[in-house]
């Protein structure tokens, strides 16, 4: 009896983390200019939120799911969805979907930020076990989300809006470095720019 040979084909996907981190860096940089008063309005923030903040990160997350890269898949996917929601929020506020209803309550965005804050506490623990740059970015994201949430609920908005602006700007700067480091390190297959070793606080099983 003839034996049937089974041939397996393995599809290798490239690491898309640099693309996802760049998407986060670009949208936080552009959005921070509005919070810092360097630019005005949110109309022209929407394309960058949709394509860099959302599509780039979700695309990178999809690749990471295929590569079984759990951390990147979940984190990039979560923030990609976040920026779709933010872009939609801005679109509604700018009247793109019709007149804003009188009972629209923007404080709901503040609670969404606080909800993300809760999840990001867990992400931050894991981020420090990936590398120090990711850990530092997540600490700044915690500051950003807390500041946006409290400012949106009317708690000392002057201070917390300023805190959110500078936290977001710093996220973008660290993110640009992180994206560049990942790109170069992966391309040259060696450490060109260091990301910082994991903290080693929590050991994996």
Per-residue pLDDT tens over the stretch 36-85: 999 999 999 999 999 999 999 999 999 999 999 999 999 999 999 999 99
Residues of the chain predicted below pLDDT 70: 1-13
- Which residues does 161 contact at the CB level (< 8 Å), separation at least 6? 35, 147, 151
Give the pLDDT score at 52: 96
**Using an 8 Å Cβ cutoff, are 52 and 104 in contact?**
no
Give the pLDDT score at 15: 86
Model pTM greater than 0.85?
yes
Give the pLDDT score at 51: 97
Give the fold, CATH level 3, of 17-94+107-188.
1.25.40
Give the pLDDT score at 181: 97
Q: Which pairs count as long-range contacts for 165-169, CB under 8 Å and 24+ apart, including other chains?
A: 165/32, 165/35, 165/36, 166/32, 166/36, 167/140, 167/141, 167/143, 168/28, 168/31, 168/32, 168/35, 168/140, 168/144, 169/28, 169/29, 169/32, 169/36
Give the pLDDT score at 1: 53
3-state secondary structure of 189: coil
- Which residues does 204 contact at the CB level (< 8 Å), separation at least 6? 129
Q: Is the dihedral of CA 99, 45, 151, 124 positive or negative?
A: positive
Give the pLDDT score at 2: 58
Give the pLDDT score at 204: 82
**DSSP code at position 96:** B
Tokens (6 digits) for 194: 């260091």
Give the pLDDT score at 10: 56
Give the pLDDT score at 205: 81
């Amino acid at each position: 009896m003839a034996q049937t040979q089974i041939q397996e084909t393995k599809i290798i996907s490239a690491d898309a983390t640099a693309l996802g981190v760049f998407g986060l860096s670009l949208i936080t940089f552009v959005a921070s200019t509005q919070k810092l008063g360097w630019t005005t309005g949110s109309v022209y923030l929407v394309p960058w939120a949709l394509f860099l903040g959302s599509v780039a990160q979700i695309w990178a997350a999809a690749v990471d799911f295929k590569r079984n890269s759990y951390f990147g898949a979940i984190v990039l996917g979560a923030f990609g969805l976040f920026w779709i929601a933010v872009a939609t929020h801005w679109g509604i506020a700018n009247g793109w979907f019709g007149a804003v209803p009188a009972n629209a309550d923007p404080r709901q965005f503040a609670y969404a930020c606080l909800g993300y804050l809760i999840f990001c506490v867990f992400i931050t623990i894991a981020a420090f076990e990936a590398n120090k740059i990711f850990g530092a970015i997540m600490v700044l994201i915690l500051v950003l989300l807390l500041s946006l949430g409290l400012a949106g609920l009317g708690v000392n908005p002057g201070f917390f809006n300023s805190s959110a602006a500078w936290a977001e700007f710093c996220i973008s700067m660290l993110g640009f470095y992180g994206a560049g480091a990942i790109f170069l390190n992966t391309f040259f297959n060696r450490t060109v720019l260091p990301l910082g070793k994991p903290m080693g606080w929590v050991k994996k099983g």
